[in-house]
Structure 1
Amino acid sequence: MHQAVEFTSRGVAALVEIDEPPIPRGTQVVLRTEFTGVTNGTERHALMSEHGYGGGVFPSRHGYQHVGIVESIGEAVQTLAVGDRIFCGDYVGHRSWHITDENGLIVKLPDDVDAQQCALMGVAGVALRAVRRMRVGAGDSVWVAGQGPIGHFIAQAARAVGARVTVTDLNARRLAAAREAGAHLALDPSDPDTMAVLKANGPFNFIFDGCSAPRLLFDIFENGLLAHTGCIGMMAVRSEVTYPWSILHGTEARIETSCHFSRDDLRVLLFLIRQGLIRMEPIISDILPIAEAPALYGRLAAGDPALMGVVFDWR
């Protein structure tokens, strides 16, 4: 029996039966799922019908982090073979099989990487794309506000290209993970001294919003935390963004955002993982058999602060 994770109603997830995989044609390949990774923010927004995710329609399926083994291939496939292991970034939700294209959003995984950990290459790919698009470089000063999965990997990616990285989060476990992964400075914003420390280490060439704190942009402006010609990367989901006009005018700065990742981002990410410059293990909090998915989504809906990187094992 083949299964998928389905959000059946607001805050509720279930395992449902799905059809057998089709016969692949042309350049299509069919994957047998080994692992999938939870995209905490995206999936919680969809599960709770927040910020327009899912359009408030149930049932629905969400998620884009899949590691699987090629089980069958179309007659025109040239670059993959049965038995290859790949990461697939298609937004089709968690399911026991996938059909994709050899030229699609995939990357072949070599034997020297941990397949289980590669189930988080999606959130790492989103982070890496933001760092690449916004042109973070060696010697830049970067502040990442919020250390959820994407904020965590933005910090790692920025450090990998040679930036000095400061992170903030209210969660001590997330700060510990950031330190383990190489953040130069990890601060709790509830500490009364944190703003003074940020000002002493600023202004920052790049500030990434990974937390949706309501006053973040005003705090940046009022405390002079953004460098001249700097960039604010708006990565966390917000219903709307309001900022003081002078935050950009006086500094000739810019606000940017970034979405998902490309096949080339996956290529670069895999290289960085194999070089040890981006690591998955510091953020992994839960590795669970897929049978425990409904309970996990109950924790996600409740906002369990212990959840960080979550991997489902389908074997």
Structure 2
Amino acid sequence: MNQTVIEFIEKGRAALVHDGAPPELQEGQALVETLYSGVTNGTERHALLTEHGFGGGFPGRHGYQHIGRVIDVRGEVLGLQAGDLVFCGDYIGHRGWQIVSDGSLVLPLKGDWPLPASALLGVAGVAIRAVRRMRVGIGANVWVVGQGPIGHFLGQCSRAAGAEVTVSDLLSNRLDAARRAGIETVLDASDPGVDETLAQLGPFDFIFDACSAPNLLDTVFARRLLAHGGCIGMMAVRREVTYPWGMLHAAEARIETSCHYDRGDLRALASLVRRGIVDMKPIISDILPISEAPGLYERLGAGDPNLIGIVFDWT
């Protein structure tokens, strides 16, 4: 069993650190050996570079996406048995093993699952929680601004809810991933005609900010892109949010945010993945052995535009 963990040891630098062997299990605990872990690009980059108030406590461990195999169980723990495949979504960083209990954020993975892509069920879980709690529904007109991991799955989950979905980004590889996932209206934000196209497609019932573009809310107001009674979902991390009062007042609109996910969100997501409605694979850009993690974080910290869906292989 791998006994290492990824630690952010100083600003901009990650290392593999020995984590020791698992302790003896207590009643009501299960030991899970990590097979794959997924990088949460935005959260981990912010923590690595101490952006937007994140991180700063070095060494630190960040991340919340593991696929693992149950090795041992003591008593009754979420119905788990040795040999079960599980997704673990607690915020513990990337590590070779973890001990889970009834209070852990665990989803048993029954049947066939796309591996290792399912290591990104966490970022997809963040997306489906936002879509559910902001009440995206059939016939809604949705614009997702930014196609990083969470933005990508906001598009897929909004479509699964019955919405008409438009996504945009500056990077061609992210736009290609959206097309592979079946999103029909995919816009290059660098296109000189994109503002006119958005005006024709809008107004939008839901606008998801998945990119932290500085002038996004001013643009939404100036171009009247938000529908009456609409919602702006602030998903990307910002230190603060300011907006033109008239953007919400005249439209009787709202701003909402959403954080993480729970077991109910994971179960809803699992149903969509099993039926092929949400596809975990199109976003995958890098599958790396865990030994290459320090170099990956150098690339992430430098803003490598080729990185989208990143999975570490611990096997």
Do the two structures share a fold, i.e. TM-score over 0.5? yes
Report what 1:10 is aligned to. 11
Is it true that 1:295 corresponds to 2:291 in the alignment?
A: no
Moved more, 257-266 or 179-188: 179-188
Is it true that 1:29 corresponds to 2:26 in the alignment?
A: no
For residues 221-254 of structure 1, the C-alpha deviation after alignment (integer angstroms, 9 at most, x for no partner) is 0001000000000000001101000111100000
Distance in structure 1 (CA, Å) of the matches to 2:275 and 2:154? 17
User: What amino acid is aligned across from residue 213 of structure 2 in structure 1?
Assistant: A
How many residue pairs are counted as aligned between the two chains? Answer: 314
Q: Is the 8 A contact 1:29 1:102 kept in 2?
A: no
Report the alpha carbon displacement of residue 77 of structure 1 after superposing the two structures with TM.
3.0
Is it true that 1:86 corresponds to 2:86 in the alignment?
A: yes
Report the alpha carbon displacement of residue 74 of structure 1 after superposing the two structures with TM.
1.9
The secondary structure found in structure 2 opposite 1:282 is coil
For residues 70-103 of structure 1, the C-alpha deviation after alignment (integer angstroms, 9 at most, x for no partner) is 1111223360101101000010000000111144
The secondary structure found in structure 1 opposite 2:220 is helix
Is it true that 1:204 corresponds to 2:204 in the alignment?
A: yes
| TM-score, normalization by structure 1 | 0.98
Distance in structure 2 (CA, Å) of the matches to 1:313 and 1:184? 32
Distance in structure 2 (CA, Å) of the matches to 1:77 and 1:259? 26
Report what 2:229 is aligned to. 229
Report the alpha carbon displacement of residue 116 of structure 1 after superposing the two structures with TM.
1.1
Distance in structure 2 (CA, Å) of the matches to 1:26 and 1:206? 46
Distance in structure 2 (CA, Å) of the matches to 1:305 and 1:126? 22
Q: Is the 8 A contact 2:78 2:101 kept in 1?
A: no
User: What amino acid is aligned across from residue 29 of structure 1 in structure 2?
Assistant: A
Distance in structure 2 (CA, Å) of the matches to 1:294 and 1:78? 34
Report the alpha carbon displacement of residue 302 of structure 1 after superposing the two structures with TM.
0.4
Report the alpha carbon displacement of residue 114 of structure 1 after superposing the two structures with TM.
1.9
User: What amino acid is aligned across from residue 132 of structure 2 in structure 1?
Assistant: R
Distance in structure 2 (CA, Å) of the matches to 1:2 and 1:148? 30
User: What amino acid is aligned across from residue 298 of structure 1 in structure 2?
Assistant: E
Report what 1:67 is aligned to. 67
Distance in structure 2 (CA, Å) of the matches to 1:204 and 1:7? 40
For residues 177-236 of structure 1, the C-alpha deviation after alignment (integer angstroms, 9 at most, x for no partner) is 111112121111221110100010100000000010111001000001000000000000
After TM superposition, the structure 1 = structure 2 runs for residues 214-253 of structure 1, keeping only pairs within 5 Å, are 214-253=214-253
User: What amino acid is aligned across from residue 17 of structure 2 in structure 1?
Assistant: V
Gaps of 5+ in 2: none
Q: Is the 8 A contact 2:114 2:280 kept in 1?
A: no
User: What amino acid is aligned across from residue 225 of structure 1 in structure 2?
Assistant: L
Report what 1:165 is aligned to. 165
The secondary structure found in structure 1 opposite 2:238 is coil
Distance in structure 1 (CA, Å) of the matches to 2:93 and 2:294? 14
Report the alpha carbon displacement of residue 105 of structure 1 after superposing the two structures with TM.
0.7
Q: Is the 8 A contact 1:159 1:182 kept in 2?
A: no
User: What amino acid is aligned across from residue 258 of structure 1 in structure 2?
Assistant: S
After TM superposition, the structure 1 = structure 2 runs for residues 103-114 of structure 1, keeping only pairs within 5 Å, are 103-114=103-114
The secondary structure found in structure 1 opposite 2:182 is coil
Report what 1:181 is aligned to. 181
The secondary structure found in structure 2 opposite 1:53 is coil
| Backbone CA RMSD of aligned residues | 1.0
User: What amino acid is aligned across from residue 110 of structure 1 in structure 2?
Assistant: K
Q: Is the 8 A contact 1:64 1:92 kept in 2?
A: yes
Report what 2:304 is aligned to. 304
Distance in structure 2 (CA, Å) of the matches to 1:77 and 1:47? 34
Gaps of 5+ in 1: none
Distance in structure 2 (CA, Å) of the matches to 1:85 and 1:179? 30
| TM-score, normalization by structure 2 | 0.98
